[in-house]
Amino acid sequence: IRNLVIVLGDQLNHDSAALDDFDNQRDRVWMAENQEEATHVWCHKFRLVAFFAPMRHFRDELDEKGRQVLYHALPTDGRKARTSSFASLLTTTLNEHDVQKMIVVHPGDHRVLESLKTVADEQNVTLEIRDDRHFYCTIDQFRDWADGRNSLVLETFYRHMRKQHDVLIDGGDPVSGVWNHDKENRGTFGKSGPSDLPHTHHFRPDDVTQDVIDMVNQRFDDHPGKVDASSFDLPVTRSEALTLLREFIKHRLIHFGDYQDAMWSDQKYLYHSRLSHAINLHLLSPREVVDKAIAAFDSGEAPINSVEGFVRQILGWREFVRGIYWTHMPDYQDRNALQCDDDQDVPSFFWDGKTDMACVADAMRLLIETGYAHHIQRLMVLGLFAQLYGTHPAKFHQWHMAMYNDAVDWVSLPNALGMSQWGDGGLMATKPYCASGKYIKRMGNYCKGCRFNPDEATGDDACPFTTLYWDFLDRHQQQFKNNTRMTMQLKNLQRKDASQMNAIRDRAQMIRRDELDL
Ligand code: FAD
Ligand code: SF4
């Protein structure tokens, strides 16, 4: 074999740089489903199908293009997989074939990158790592941008990206006169709730996906969640992913901005795109997604607040978190700025959703059923609870990797450990996203149907978020005393008298020790 081209599970792109000079006769593609990847975090069954089914479809497409693929599939019949780890599978291939060179596009997981380098060294085979063209910003470009800056601020990076890539720019300035439409993007669904929400496309599993569903249910039956043909509805090919993109642009983008921060019970996607899984697996490119959104603005189908809000997520946040990840790994994963206890894990109801807290129960139900929760549920319900509860940020990230079908290390770690848990001490967010139950009350209808009261911090009806919020500020007030963005919150804390604070501390302690029936 001249070149062994390694295609990882989140690199399913026929235009990938790894395939640039592929020779159908002399080269081989190498892909592997492996037990270790699926079990190093205790993955949700839905998530396993969300990764393995697109891989098998991509293998079949390569095959149709005449590309020879060495594909390691996990067997359905329960026989032990040939060998379990990524490194050992690759080593076996290198021992069985005379490989002159390995080629890979830069992986999205630091651990996988190191593992590849180790195998290449041990087997004495050249490893060529190519830049991932999928992203707007290369890792080196981000490092250059970050170099010498005291703080890395999303807004500055985002404006730089808009100008550099001429996105929503007119003569060097933003097309609408302002860079940021966030103020228009904090709408709620009022008292009556959302009406006429657009229909959601359900992609029916074909035989290939059904085989994966069977394999996952049989091989990983003790993993969390469940998956079957009626529940699995994600795109598994580029063509399906394009259908999902069209659906979003046509029906949801119009209100994406207005309701970006809103929540409503029993609703899955509201006006969110649900595209993260397809983009992260590289079934879609961020450029085509952004271009389609801008075309909708140009044709008058979508307003600027929605289009700018959406572009900000893809061209801004998504590229920013990747830059943060690769600029600060590997030490980033060990950061624990709030000094949470090493063994403080997520609460048990983060696995089964069994809690009376209406907001948590609803977000968990969706997560268990579909491997999805929208951004505000992630950040301001589940992430917020984990943070106030004192969960160790690495444990929260591991839980996140296990549960969400769009979780890949480069994007989950900065969002989970950094943005949500403030584990990186302010790289991702200048202040922690901490709030009481009153925030959740304002942004949706959860509190109406809940046995707890978001306005109370103590007593039997006290909302656990509210109790833990004051306790969080109390525990970390020294750390935040010089953070001007926290001044207001800390001032409010000072207004609590000593007996109130003692009652709050006691109740928070009981919540953390799982002594209360939540
Ligand atoms: P939409 O709301 O429709 O947003 C559009 C797109 O913007 C998304 O598809 C995504 O590609 C991108 N995007 C938006 N916000 C971010 C962000 N903060 N970082 C990166 N991309 C963003 N996103 C992941 O793709 N994988 C993760 O593992 C992940 N972990 C997260 C963990 C936490 C605790 C939080 C708070 C956020 C996380 N995010 C993650 C970011 C974001 O919540 C999801 O991208 C989004 O909810 C996916 O749903 P959607 O496709 O409907 O997104
Ligand atoms: Fe969530 Fe508290 Fe509101 Fe209940 S009262 S839904 S726990 S914020």
Q: 248 and 174, same structural domain?
A: yes
Domain boundary among 101, 130, 159: 130
Residues 116 and 184 in one domain: no
The total number of residues shown for the chain amounts to 518
Pair (160, 274) in one structural domain: yes
Q: What was the pLDDT predicted at 77? A: 72
> In this structure, are residues 71 and 6 in contact, taking their beta carbons and an 8 Å threshold?
no
For a pocket test of ligand 2, which of 266, 362, 382, 441 has the largest count of ligand atoms closer than 8 A to its C-beta?
A: 441
Same domain, 200 and 104: no
- Indicate if ligand 1 lies below 6 Å from the C-beta of 375: yes
- Residue 215 located in a structural domain: no
Q: Token pair 């060294």 is at which residue?
A: 121
User: Bridge partners of 453?
Assistant: 462
- 100 with 2: CB under 8 angstroms? yes
Residue 436 is classified by DSSP as -
Q: What's CA 176's distance to the chain center, in Å?
A: 30
pLDDT for the residue 336: 97
- Whether 216 is in a domain gets the answer no
Distance CA 284, CA 293 (A): 14
What is the structure's pLDDT at 82?
A: 53
Regions in the chain scoring below 50 on pLDDT:
none
- List b or e across 79-109, with b for residues whose CB sees 16 or more CB atoms inside 10 angstroms: eebebbbbbebbbebbeeeebeebbbbbbbb
Q: What is the pLDDT of residues 385-426, one digit of tens each?
A: 999 999 999 999 999 999 999 999 999 999 999 999 999 999
Contact 361, 353 (CB under 8 A): yes
What sections of 195-312 are H helices per DSSP? 207-219, 238-247, 253-256, 276-280, 286-298, 304-311
**CB of 34 closer than 6 A to ligand 1?**
no
Residue 83: predicted pLDDT? 55
Domain containing 259 equals 139-205+221-328
CB-neighbour burial class of residue 123 (10 A; exposed 0-12, middle 13-18, buried 19+)? middle
> In this structure, are 151 and 243 located in the same domain?
yes
Strand 173-174 to 169-170 pairing: antiparallel
Q: With a cut of 0.95, is the ipTM above it?
A: yes
Q: Is the CB of 463 under 6 A from ligand 2?
A: yes
Q: What is the C-alpha separation between 257 and 375, in angstroms, rounded?
A: 13
Together in a domain, 441 and 506: yes
- Supply the CATH number for residue 106's domain: 3.40.50.620
Cβ(493) – ligand 2 distance below 6 Å: no
Best CA proximity match to 472, nearest among 354, 390, 393: 390
Query: Does the beta carbon of 181 lie inside 6 Å of ligand 1?
Result: no
Reduce the DSSP state of residue 130 to 3 states and report it: strand
Q: Are residues 405 and 281 in the same domain?
A: no
Q: Check whether residue 126 and residue 145 sit in a common domain.
A: no
CA of 179 to the centre of ligand 2 (A): 34
Q: Is 446 in the pocket of ligand 1 (CB under 6 A)?
A: no
Atom 3 (ligand 2) nearest CA: 447
**Residue 294 CB neighbours (<10 A):** 18
Please tell me the distance from the alpha carbon of residue 336 to that of residue 348, in angstroms, as a whole number.
21
Q: Tell me whether residue 337 is in a domain.
A: no
SS3 (DSSP) at 3 = strand
CATH of the domain at 390: 1.10.579.10
Number of structural domains in the chain: 3
β-bridge mates for residue 130, sequence order: 105
Residue closest by Cα to atom 34 of ligand 1: 416
Is the CB of 379 inside a 6 Å radius of any atom of ligand 1?
yes
pTM greater than the 0.80 cutoff: yes
3-state secondary structure of 126: strand
What does the pLDDT read at residue 199? 85
**CA distances for 226 relative to 63, 134, 222, 348, 397, angstroms:** 31, 31, 10, 17, 21
Ligand 2 atom closest to residue 360's alpha carbon, by position in its atom list: 1
What confidence score (pLDDT) does residue 78 get?
Answer: 61
Decide if 281 contacts 12 (C-beta within 8 A): yes
Kindly state whether residues 250 and 324 are assigned to the same domain: yes
pLDDT score, position 425: 93
pLDDT digits (tens, 9 = 90+) for 203-231: 999 999 999 999 999 999 888 888 999 99
Tokens for 37?
């990847």
DSSP bridge partners of 104: 6, 129
Residue 298 sits in a domain whose CATH number is: 1.25.40.80
Among 96, 130, 164, the domain-final residue is 130
**Structure-token pair, residue 58:** 């991509």
Are the beta carbons of 280 and 8 closer than 8 angstroms?
A: no
Same domain, 11 and 119: yes
Ligand 1 mutation target, pool 254, 283, 307, 313, most atoms within 8 A of CB? 313
Q: How far apart are CA 181 and CA 258, in angstroms?
A: 10
Q: How far is CA 492 from the centre of its chain?
A: 33
Judgement on whether residues 185 and 41 belong to the same structural domain of the protein: no
Coil, helix or strand at residue 403: helix
Q: How far apart are CA 493 and CA 305, in angstroms?
A: 35
Query: Measured between alpha carbons, how far is 205 from 278 in angstroms, rounded to an integer?
Result: 16
Q: Are residues 66 and 113 in the same domain?
A: yes
380 Cβ closer than 6 Å to some ligand 2 atom: no
How far apart (Å, rounded) are the C-alpha atoms in residues 46 and 406? 11
